[in-house]
Amino acid sequence: LPEYDNGTKPYLKIYRDYFFLVDFPRDLKSIPPFEVREDDIWISTFPKSGTTWVQEIVYLVMNNADTGKALQTTIERRVPFFEYPIPGFKAISAMPSPRLIKSHLPLSLLPDQMKAKKPKIIYVYRNPKDTVVSYYEFLVKFLTYTKFTGKFEDFCRLFTEGKVLCGPWWKHVTEAWARRHEDNFLLLCYEDLQADLDKNVRIVAEFLGKSLTDEQVARIVKHCSFDSMKNNNTVNYEWFKRKGLARKEPKFLRNGKVGDWKNHLSPDIVKQFDEIVATKLPMDFPIKDTLS
């Protein structure tokens, strides 16, 4: 594979049509036996699509908008990351119901039991141009341990070839699009959250069978604004810095805008992304890469 570590060693490999870290298959193979519960709530995304935002919204919807409770524990403990070694499958297996679980795995790689147990799944996608900027800034500038050391242009090329972690992006989102009408499935879009958070909180609540007062919805909207989350130490991944996992300066909640790609992507790269949207996504798949 051409995906490189300093231009020398591959660091990604293909597993059932998707790219993962070379040391990942051990975990992936252990996924099928995982006990899924009917009342699990899964938040599934391609990385950098608004996962943390939706994790926090879902947590608050499920906990009567109790922002005080949310502020006591980091999001990675309240809504653990399924395929990440911390806290790991064992710890997630032992969590009380209803469990809220985050995953970046494509839907086809989630545990087999999902088919029979039909837990609720919320999938959020974001336009690919802002996603690639956010992804690069996160992997290369924020994290300390990523092996990718190429330039932004290299990363864009790999993204358009489908060769970044959890890629191809278009395959990941198309799987979700195909399931958008299923009863236990909710498809959200980052740009819609930006356009009307209040409405999307209500959509999430209805999907999860929770009735919230207007006051509770307003509390969630305020708590989940970009500025509020940026300064909230239970969701802004500042703890990564204390653990040496992230560099000091960059912020996890970096920019949080629709259309920031205009400050990063050259016309050539924009063309490549437009071509992907035109040729690799279903015809009616809505991509919103500028604020209307």
Q: What is the DSSP letter of 143?
A: B
DSSP, residue by residue, 224-290? TSHHHHHT-TTTS-THHHHTTSB-SS--SS----SSGGGGT--HHHHHHHHHHHHHHS-TT-----S
Name the residue nearer to ligand A3P (CB basis): 89 or 261: 261
Q: Which of 104, 172, 223, 264 is catalytic?
A: 104
Name the residue nearer to ligand A3P (CB basis): 49 or 234: 49
Give least dist CB 32 to ligand A3P, A.
25
Give least dist CB 225 to ligand A3P, A.
6
Give least dist CB 197 to ligand A3P, A.
8
Q: Which two tokens stand for residue 222?
A: 């305020």
Give least dist CB 45 to ligand A3P, A.
6
- C-alpha to C-alpha distance for 173 and 177, rounded to whole angstroms: 6
Name the residue nearer to ligand A3P (CB basis): 52 or 160: 52
Amino acid at 255: N
Q: Which residues bind ligand A3P (CB under 6 A)?
A: 45, 47-53, 130, 134, 137, 224-226, 229, 253-256, 260
- Per the CB < 8 A criterion, the answer to whether 54 and 122 are in contact is yes
- Per the CB < 8 A criterion, the answer to whether 144 and 245 are in contact is yes
Name the residue nearer to ligand A3P (CB basis): 54 or 205: 54
223 is catalytic: no
Which residues are marked as active site? Answer: 104
